A and B are shown apart, each in its own frame.
Chain A
């Protein structure tokens, strides 16, 4: 395993499209559910244990060679909002492009061929992590961390929140990020034995509803 490869994959500057997405934060800010650092922390905690856990489990399972097509269907089943499905596939396609340039491999090419318009981002993340020589725990950590770091970065832009406060939120959540990543790796191992039905299906209804509302706005800063 290359620790530097993990840092690259987790770096917000890795050109995989994430900068245009808020992880539901733009809808939550508009609805008055995030007004400052304290709300942001609760919002991120909610994401960690729902979208974050599900994404990380999918990513871990993909590293452990659970078939991509099954994982992609499992991701669809765990994503009720059509707008979020579209966003997840776009991000999956964008990550695939960046990863094929960074870590060329026949396996990535094969997944790109099978999903020309993109598979769900966490599933792609797992496949990419393996191509980069990383393990299930690495992929799970990446997915969980992304599930909160993207939202925190977006809120800095949306509310002109002090960026140091946003970093403080992420630092305080770090132990929880680790725990959720560990749970996700276990879930991924479970899926190897019992199939994708064993993966967590934790749902955050407000994120799903917010994503649908957000997709209907005429004026917005973020794509999702």
Chain B
């Protein structure tokens, strides 16, 4: 008989417990949500490039009907393939990140089991609407990604994503002059909706804002491991 068999007798984790069954602290989980085409996958790719040298990273994608987001990340080679997992969501991306998070929990737990200790797991939602938010049972913090071309009235309209996300990223700022979006107005509306919660204006084309998003993630991680 083994005297020390805690590992064998501890069943799998249930939900968001900060400790894994073996007692180690699990990875920080950050969700990225937002409307279709706002640049969630590209933001994930940019974050991976910014952080992969200093952190052990993995990504879960939630495509609605293909593996395109996972394939994009693989093609861009932002991480080795074993660190990217796709979850299938049965036509309801918001259900898989909020109402029934079981498939996503499995994905994050399996990544930690299979690729070893991780510092950070990014969970990317399938493109959805302005009400889509992540369950606290799945992620520790969430980023909502909108873009200037989707209409500069989105921050004013609010909704749970814009209003409550821990970080709001307004993406594609380089397009603002071409689509007639008023960035100052978006910033003022976001401030009115979000009070002290942070907002980053980002352009992946020019690179502006990318380091601000990465710095926010680092701060989350510092708080998580403190």
Contact = CB atoms under 8 A, between A and B. Distances in A.
A119 to B, nearest CB: 13
Contacts of B95: 19
Query: Which secondary structure dominates where chain B touches chain A?
Result: loop
Nearest to A221: B91
Contact of B96 (A20, A113, A116): A20
Interface stretch (A71-79, A90-98, A169-177, A183-191): A90-98
Query: Which secondary structure dominates where chain A touches chain B?
Result: helix
Contact of A113 (B11, B91, B103, B106): B11
A195 B65 CA distance: 42
Interface residues of B, number: 25
A201 to B, nearest CB: 28
Interface stretch (A10-18, A62-70, A128-136, A203-211): A10-18
Contact of A222 (B12, B91, B102, B105): B91
B67 A218 contact: yes
Interface of B: 8-12, 14-15, 64-67, 88-92, 95-96, 99-103, 105-106
A100 B11 contact: yes
A27 interface: no
B15 A101 contact: yes
A5 interface: no
A220 B86 CA distance: 13
Given A90-B103, A219-B66, A22 B15 contact: no
Contact of B100 (A16, A157, A219): A16
A112 B91 contact: no
Contact of B102 (A98, A157, A218, A221): A98
Interface in A29-61: none
A221 B12 contact: no
B105 A19 contact: no
Nearest to B89: A20
Contacts of B89: 20
Given A97-B12, A97-B14, A109-B11, A222 B99 contact: no
Looking at B12, B90, B100, the one whose CB has the most chain A CB atoms below 10 A away is B90
A98 B100 CA distance: 9
A93 B106 contact: yes
A220 B14 contact: no
14 contacts: A19-B100, A94-B106, A97-B12, A98-B102, A101-B14, A110-B11, A116-B12, A154-B90, A157-B91, A219-B65, A219-B66, A220-B88, A221-B91, A223-B88
